[in-house]
């Protein structure tokens, strides 16, 4: 079960100047058909030129650990576009698609 009382710690994912934006808490269907409760984020990375990444964060099999999946990446500041892409590909926690 996803513990939503605390947002995930993304410090290992972020360098100085990077910006993370929460998109949604959802049920995400993986490529294998498994449904995983997930936090969705877009991150603008600036270290090697601007790149925007769409991430999915899920509880790992090891208690207290998280797994982070890079779902999509695009050059430049594409936060709005990738946030929309994440929303389009997620079933939100309240059952909306």
pLDDT digits (tens, 9 = 90+) for 5-21: 677 888 888 999 999 99
Domain residue ranges in the chain: 19-92
Contacts of 10-16 with C-beta under 8 Å, sequence gap 24+, read 10/41, 10/43, 10/57, 13/43, 13/55, 13/68, 14/43, 15/45, 15/46, 15/47
Task: Share the mean pLDDT of the chain.
Answer: 87
What is the model's pLDDT at position 12?
Answer: 85
What is the model's pLDDT at position 91?
Answer: 67
pTM for this one? 0.85
Low-confidence ranges of the chain (pLDDT < 70): 1-5, 91-97
């Amino acid at each position: 079960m996803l513990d939503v009382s605390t947002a995930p710690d993304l410090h290992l994912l972020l360098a100085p100047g990077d910006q993370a934006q929460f998109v949604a808490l959802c049920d995400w269907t993986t490529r294998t058909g498994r449904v995983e409760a997930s936090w969705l984020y877009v991150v603008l990375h600036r270290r090697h030129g601007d790149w925007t990444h769409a991430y999915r964060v899920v509880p790992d099999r090891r208690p207290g650990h998280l797994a982070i999946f890079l779902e999509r990446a695009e050059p430049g500041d594409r936060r709005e576009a990738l946030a929309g892409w994440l929303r389009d590909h997620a079933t939100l926690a309240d059952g909306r698609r």
